[in-house]
Structure 1
């Protein structure tokens, strides 16, 4: 059997949802199953096992429960759930396209799950997608990325609690082709 690369482990749509669910919290398989009810129990356990074997998530506690051991999972180091700059730099054009396609497929899956819910209200729920062009020199772009990163860092520290709703936010930055100085 061929071992999956860490990139393949991370980018699987179900495993990506599990990883995102474990950001800033620790959960058992049962808690994950309640949060992600569309994932069959057997699949949940199979994907958790792959994530643990790849070192993406960790078992931080084992609790005896009615004759079995209930494991508590954690994403202890979010860097383990990302693709390194070195790895990205080594990808071919086709590998980058495959990576981008899988990223988009994950986003489409999230949106489809939302649309399949009862009583959705796009305005109330804050659904939005847009595209715009920004004209920034390298210094302005660096400042934009710094400020955006600061906002992301601040809000990704929020833990789930009453009144908070999980929202998926995706950012894609695609530069225009290089132009000669005007």
Structure 2
């Protein structure tokens, strides 16, 4: 029986995060699509990271077809998706957790750099921080509510609708306890 790697061990690599990002919104992409979307990643490196994601069931092969003697694979997010759950977070050591978070921030910074080079960047940019006063059950309700609120915006706009003014934006979230609000021994 194959040992399943913790998701964090697999996805917390900048190239793998970028591959997963290409599969967001339920998209299906081929290896050719990935090469075009990630031109700065060497082909052999890209294939190695795709194979690691497939092996860990983060992404899945959903179609294969022969093209000029080669097999072209189409990928989608797999069963495990790309989410580190609370059990896996608890199993991480402090250094591993910090490295995972810094990798996430570095990826976010790379996205910011690429996006800021484009036109209309500032019209779709926003960031901030807000304090919420919650319990664990509250977080589940907030996640469910956000899922419901965001659902109409997850599908890409219909390409036949030339009047659409929609652009794709990335919503990145971080939840962490306020360092100034340390729990007391209740």
- TM range, normalised to the smaller chain? 0.7 to 0.9
Distance 1:37-1:166 versus aligned 2 partners, 3 A rule? farther
Paired residues for 1:164-175 under 5 Å: 164-175=166-177
Q: Which of 168, 178, 182 lines up with 2:182 in the alignment?
A: 178
User: Hey, what does 1:20 align to over in structure 2?
Assistant: 21
Deviation at residue 18 of structure 1 after TM alignment = 0.9
Structure 1 length normalisation: TM-score?
0.78
| Runs of 5+ unmatched residues, structure 1 | none
Per-residue deviation, 1:148: 2.0
- Label 1:103 to 1:68 Cα distance change in 2 as closer, same or farther (>3 A): same
Q: Matches of residues 2-13 of structure 1 in structure 2 within 5 Å?
A: 6-13=7-14
Q: Report the CA distance between 1:137 and its aligned residue.
A: 5.0
In 1, Cα distance between equivalents of 2:90 and 2:158 = 38
Q: 1:160 to 1:66 in 2, by over 3 A?
A: farther
In structure 1, the residue matched to 2:122 is 123
Structure 1 vs Structure 2 CA RMSD: 2.7
User: How do 1:84-163 residues align onto structure 2 when only pairs under 5 Å count?
Assistant: 84-115=85-116, 117-118=117-118, 120-124=119-123, 126-134=124-132, 136=133, 138=135, 143-156=141-154, 158-159=155-156, 161-162=158-159
CA deviation profile, 1:69-102 (whole Å, cap 9, x unmatched)? 111112133x332223211112233332222111
Alignment of 1:54-69 (within 5 A): 54-69=56-71
CA–CA distance in 1 between the matches of 2:6 and 2:141? 34
Matched residue count: 172
